[in-house]
Amino acid sequence: MVYQRSSQLFVDAEKVIPGGVNSPVRAFKAVGGTPIFVKSAKGAYLYDEDGNKLIDYINSWGPMILGHAYQPVVDAVIEKAKLGTSFGMPTEIETQIAALAVSMVPNIDKIRFVNSGTEACMSAVRLARGFTKKDKIIKFAGCYHGHSDSFLIQAGSGAITFGSPNSPGVTAGTAKDTLLARYNDLENVTTLIKANKNEIAAIIVEPVAGNMGCIPPNKGFLEGLRQLCTDNNILLIFDEVMTGFRLAKGGVQELFNIKADIVCFGKVIGGGLPVGAFAARKEIMNYLAPLGPVYQAGTLSGNPLAMAAGLTMLQALDNEPSIFKRLEEKTAYLAAGIDKVLKANNVVFTINRIGSMVSVHFAAEPVVDFQSAAKGDNETFKKFFHGLLSEGIYIAPSAYETWFITDALSYEDLDLTIQAVDKVSKTF
């Protein structure tokens, strides 16, 4: 395939946008080469600026669960836009999507809409701190909760009592309130809680991790976190920005029957427009301004176009719950097919999958946390990525990402993908 126009557009972009992109992972740094510029997309396919057609396994990093340019969402946005695009005043559609979300997700009474997953997680932590009157939080290495300061943290020299910044610009003062634990390691969490008795406001976790590849929780891990939180007056925050409205109507809380105290959303809930949200039972949500003392706000929060897209998306998922089963079946089919051809070609690999999330790791050992994910062979991944791309298949340009399966993918698309994996892996 030719990427002449994309390459030129990237050169132009680099002059006026840092690194040519508005979000770093788009820049292909982890795999080499230059990013592909998209012109349009429909259903399961991307069409780039050079006229190439690609089968898409990123799907805007999750939101397009029903495929690109899903007609009801497009129509809803167009109709809404005709009525004005932003008012900074309440609109009825905000209540409609809130009521629908509250009916679909267990254990939440109220929900507040923001503009991104980052904002949702940042606000959830502030709310948890205000509500519990404690300062520290625990997060897990390899879990991503957006780019706000409290989350850009690595284990510090005193890892048991404080974290340290992993980006310049994050202050040591902020970092000292974030503790880092190992995913799927309850003992580690217990140790941190003991060493910081009565100081921890919240544990924030991706209940199914999706930002170090797809890593499902070990049996008992989420149950254990729930118990530790209950026993120590800590709020359990499920960051379901990726998993919410994807793994089930009610997300991971429903899937594993575990109750979180605060839940964060993003991605699918916006139907492809910039939306995030956080939700909880009323005692907690009533702590937010203007009812309560914890401040949180947004000029474009609850934007009518975004709400129209989100509402239409949630309605589609609510009206046809069989979508989740169908997505799971397609994903299982794809994973089984890839498993078969990689084995036949003697590749060292591990596939993780749950529902419509799947990731291929070029690692021999089970991938259960950040450390094991990092053992994957990145050179093989680069060959895999570029090989698939030349076959017209677009996966995330980083070994630490999940593939997102959409309902728009046909079994023919999946077969083409499996054949491409077979062809590419023969060249490893």
CB nearer ligand PLP, residue 240 or residue 413: 240
In what helix (H) or strand (E) does residue 186 lie, and over which residues does it extend? helix 186-195
Smallest separation (angstroms) from ligand PLP to the CB of 283: 24
Known active-site residue 267: yes
Smallest separation (angstroms) from ligand PLP to the CB of 364: 27
Cβ atoms 167, 173 nearer than 8 A: no
Query: Which position among 239, 369, 377, 407 bears the catalytic label?
Result: 239
Known active-site residue 144: yes
CB nearer ligand PLP, residue 174 or residue 419: 174
Query: What residue type is assigned to position 163 of the chain?
Result: G
Mind giving me the DSSP string for 55-99?
Answer: EESSTTTTT-TT-BT-HHHHHHHHHHHTT-S--SS--HHHHHHHH
Distance of CA 197 to the CA centre of its chain: 31
Neighbour count for residue 157 (Cβ, 10 Å)? 7
Smallest separation (angstroms) from ligand PLP to the CB of 365: 24
Smallest separation (angstroms) from ligand PLP to the CB of 16: 22
Query: Which position among 267, 330, 377, 394 bears the catalytic label?
Result: 267
Rounded-to-integer distance, Cα 139 and Cα 184, Å? 12
- How far is the CA of 11 from the CAs of 26, 27, 386, in angstroms? 14, 12, 20
Smallest separation (angstroms) from ligand PLP to the CB of 428: 29
In what helix (H) or strand (E) does residue 358 lie, and over which residues does it extend? strand 357-361
423 Cβ neighbours under 8 A, 6+ residues apart? 387, 391
Nearest Cα residue to 30 out of 402, 387, 400: 400
Neighbour count for residue 83 (Cβ, 10 Å)? 11
CB nearer ligand PLP, residue 48 or residue 239: 239
Query: Which position among 3, 45, 70, 144 bears the catalytic label?
Result: 144
Smallest separation (angstroms) from ligand PLP to the CB of 63: 9
CB nearer ligand PLP, residue 210 or residue 224: 210
CB nearer ligand PLP, residue 377 or residue 401: 401
**Sign of torsion over alpha carbons 281, 277, 231, 198:** negative
Residue 331 has which token pair? 């994903």
Smallest separation (angstroms) from ligand PLP to the CB of 64: 14
- Which residue number places its CB atom closest to ligand PLP? 117
CB nearer ligand PLP, residue 117 or residue 224: 117
Residues contributing to the site for ligand PLP (CB under 6 A): 116-118, 121, 144-146, 206, 210-211, 239, 241-242, 266, 276
Instruction: Give strand ranges (E) for 174-284.
Output: 178-181, 200-205, 235-239, 262-265, 276-280
CB nearer ligand PLP, residue 266 or residue 397: 266
Tokens 């959303």, residue located = 265
Catalytic residue IDs: 144, 239, 267
